Amino acid sequence: MSTAQYFQSPGPLGELYEATGFSHAVVLPVGAQLVITSGQPGLNRQKRATATAAEQIEGCFDNVDTALKAAGVTEGLWKAHKIQCFLLDVSLEPTMMEIWRRKWRGHRPTWATVGTSGLCGPGMIIELIAEAHIVPEKTTQP
91-114 confidence digits (pLDDT tens): 999 999 999 999 999 999 999 999
Average pLDDT, integer, range 115-137: 90
Measure Cα distances from 46 to 34, 37, 43, 51, 102 in Å: 29, 20, 8, 14, 24
What would the pLDDT profile of 8-53 be if each residue is shown by its tens digit?
888 888 888 877 777 878 888 888 899 999 998 887 655 554 568 9
**At residue 23, what are phi and psi to the nearest 5 degrees?**
-115, 160
Sign of CA dihedral 112, 118, 120, 122: positive
Predicted confidence at residue 10, as pLDDT, reads 86
Which domains does the chain carry? 5-134 (3.30.1330.40)
CA atoms within 13 A on the CB side of 90: 6
**Global confidence as pTM:** 0.84
Distance CA 139, CA 14 (A): 39
Indicate the SS3 state at residue 54: helix
Over 70: is that where the pLDDT of 121 sits?
yes
Does residue 99 contact residue 68 with C-beta atoms inside 8 Å?
A: no
Distance CA 74, CA 62 (A): 14
Over 60: is that where the pLDDT of 140 sits?
no
Q: What is the rounded end-to-end Cα distance, in angstroms, of the chain? A: 24
CA atoms within 13 A on the CB side of 139: 3
Q: Which amino acid is at 5?
A: Q
